[in-house]
Structure 1
């Protein structure tokens, strides 16, 4: 009985495949990060706006994050299926053959971006933290949730390029709107 209190069986079913982000503030997100070698992973890196001048969509930061994602996905054999860079966060839909490769990719990508962005290599600066939260991750189980996350990332990319935002943007998209999303 006592051993079961320390196991992952006590995690609420809704958060079983999620980790990081704002979940970290409660007991729900404090377990080990769930990773899968078979299923894709939705990652969200949230940036502290005070630490990043101009946001992630500024030309310098946008080129930097794109270069780092491509470089470290090749190095750690992580397949990036889709990614979208917003002004204050990055969405990535990725797959990896092993858990260790994905863990290394997460660790190195977040660390390298923070170091290069704040020029830590040139001088030891003690400014505000770059990342607002630990990276949020969710293992995508099943084809329908995969399609939902894929459409969500695409919609975020279109919104940052000028599409109007609405609060009900993901509820009840008809087939015409989905086709428009991917044109």
Structure 2
């Protein structure tokens, strides 16, 4: 292998390792922080601006429950199973200066809405054929019946929260 090929291969392997190493902490945390840089605007305007930041959750798909076979039916009970997805609602944080409106000890107002867990399940489908199991009284032929179809309702569970506060300093 030529030295140029080895150098190119080493650069590619190093880049992939750096990308995987950078992505691993974000996946372990579950949220990605999103700061909003306003320091340059503060210096340009020569005034104190609010500090703003947020968090974006990373959704993680789960393992769906497989079809459930039920006695007396030709098709399984959950033909299209529900897919669970866990993640979270985005979080936000805001601290804004207040020029002593409420007294000398109140210099800022802040709102903190941390990212909260979210559990969802996609809608599913269950159907049954318009035929029964083979009937020995009918020479092994199935009987007819009305077809059945149903939709498994989606699920959404979360408990969001937020804090509003006033205090000294920014």
Q: Please confirm whether the aligned pair reaches a TM-score higher than 0.5, indicating the same fold.
A: no
Relative contact order, higher structure (CA 8 A, sep 6+): 1
Comparing both structures, which one devotes a greater share of its residues to strand?
2
TM-score calculated relative to the size of structure 1: 0.19
TM-score calculated relative to the size of structure 2: 0.20
